């Protein structure tokens, strides 16, 4: 087994996967989830991963997050940074206030109280939730809860964000607003983002580059740069054209596997 390792200072990629294979289980039960995936993500790049259900997108994110180990190949994250991870479910502590949820990673890092307070206030401003600091998660909408989750992830001060369908459970209008907010935060903080989505339009709206994985075992079968200038609109003809191209390739791939 090759464990996750750190990138030497000379390497310029924020995230580098080289020949990554992931097998779950053994013998008859073995499932080949990823097969020889190589992907370099530049610092500040926004990469969207799309692919059919079960093609290994979450597996790939988990490997980059260090939550699991590769079967062969290497996964490297620049400067040994611990990436921040965000899921479809915000996974907030329901008994804590919004501010206390965002404060949690700062507490775990041992920051002094005054510094924590200032950071929480700043982070809640970043996600436009300053007025909701004392509310509890159940008092918020789904979109607001995801913004709390984003603020909590940003509290880690990581340069790399891994997002696994973070807006998948939200209505289209809320998603639109969060696309704008995420894009602003990404560009202001020069974050590197690896974003998994089933929604090809969302990928075209957000990405610098869209990477398409084959049906299981996941291999990279197509990659395209999205050259549409920002700010973008998800319903613009340019975004629709890119989404149509990726959808066609995805349909061909899914059809090939009879899924
Ligand atoms: N812990 C595990 N043990 C065994 N098989 C697993 C495990 N985790 C994932 N798999 C299998 O590996 C394959 C890839 O799963 P993964 O969740 O990465 O796909 P995905 O592309 O994220 O799927 P979806 O789009 O449906 O969320 C699937 O066939 C899945 O059943």
Residue range 206-256, pLDDT digits in tens: 999 999 999 889 999 999 999 999 999 999 999 999 999 999 999 988 877
Distance CA 131, CA 117 (A): 14
Q: Which atom of ligand 1 is nearest to the CA of 60?
A: 18
User: Which residues, in sequence order, are CB contacts of 62 under 8 Å at separation 6+?
Assistant: 68
The string of DSSP letters for 40-108 reads EE-TT-EEEEEESTTSSHHHHHHHHHTSS--SEEEEEEETT---EEE-SS----TTS-HHHHHHHHHHH
CA of 132 to the centre of ligand 1 (A): 36
pLDDT of residue 254: 81
Does residue 24's CB lie within 6 angstroms of at least one atom of ligand 1?
A: yes
Buried b / exposed e across 223-241, counting CB within 10 Å, b at 16+? Answer: ebebebeeebebeeeebee
Query: Hey, whose CA ends up nearest to atom 4 of ligand 1?
Result: 24
Distance CA 208, CA 228 (A): 9
Could you tell me how far CA 104 lies from the centroid of its own chain? Answer: 20
CA of 49 to the centre of ligand 1 (A): 14
pLDDT of residue 11: 56
Query: Hey, whose CA ends up nearest to atom 18 of ligand 1?
Result: 56
pLDDT of residue 81: 85
Distance CA 59, CA 54 (A): 9
Distance CA 108, CA 117 (A): 14
pLDDT of residue 259: 53
Query: Hey, whose CA ends up nearest to atom 29 of ligand 1?
Result: 54
Does residue 248's CB lie within 6 angstroms of at least one atom of ligand 1?
A: no
Query: Hey, whose CA ends up nearest to atom 26 of ligand 1?
Result: 53
CA of 74 to the centre of ligand 1 (A): 19
pLDDT of residue 258: 60
| Averaged pLDDT in 10-residue chunks for the chain of 259 residues | 44 91 94 96 97 93 96 93 92 97 95 96 95 97 96 94 95 93 94 96 98 93 96 96 96 76
ipTM (interface predicted TM):
0.97
Per the listing, tokens 């590769």 go with 70
Alpha-carbon dihedral 129, 136, 162, 89, rounded to 10 degrees? -130
pLDDT of residue 80: 80
Q: Which atom of ligand 1 is nearest to the CA of 31?
A: 5
Q: Among candidates 84, 238, 241, 68, which has minimal Cα distance to 152?
A: 84
pLDDT of residue 256: 78
- In sequence order, the β-bridge partners of residue 76 are 5, 16
CA of 59 to the centre of ligand 1 (A): 6
Does residue 217's CB lie within 6 angstroms of at least one atom of ligand 1?
A: no
Does residue 22's CB lie within 6 angstroms of at least one atom of ligand 1?
A: no
């Amino acid at each position: 087994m090759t464990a996750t390792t750190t990138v030497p200072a000379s390497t310029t990629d924020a995230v580098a996967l080289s020949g990554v294979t992931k097998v779950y289980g053994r013998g008859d039960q073995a499932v080949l989830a990823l097969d020889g995936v190589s992907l370099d993500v530049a610092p500040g790049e926004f990469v969207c991963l799309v692919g059919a259900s079960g093609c290994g997108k979450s597996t790939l994110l988990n490997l980059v997050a260090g939550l699991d180990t590769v079967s062969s190949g290497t996964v490297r994250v620049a400067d040994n940074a611990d990436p921040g991870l965000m899921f479809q479910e915000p996974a907030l502590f329901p008994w804590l206030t919004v501010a206390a949820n965002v404060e949690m990673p700062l507490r775990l890092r041992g920051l002094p109280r005054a510094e924590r307070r200032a950071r929480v206030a700043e982070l809640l401003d970043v996600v436009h939730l300053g007025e909701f600091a004392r509310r509890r998660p159940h008092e918020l909408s789904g979109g607001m809860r995801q913004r709390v989750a984003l603020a909590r992830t940003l509290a880690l001060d990581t340069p790399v964000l891994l997002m696994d369908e973070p807006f998948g459970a939200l209505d289209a209008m809320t998603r639109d607003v969060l696309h704008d907010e995420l894009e602003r935060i990404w560009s202001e903080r020069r974050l590197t983002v690896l974003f998994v989505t089933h929604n090809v339009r969302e990928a075209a709206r957000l990405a610098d580059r869209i990477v398409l994985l084959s049906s299981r075992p996941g291999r990279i079968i197509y990659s395209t740069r999205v050259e549409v200038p920002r700010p973008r609109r998800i319903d613009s003809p340019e975004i629709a054209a890119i989404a149509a191209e990726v959808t066609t390739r995805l349909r061909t791939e899914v059809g090939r596997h009879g899924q």
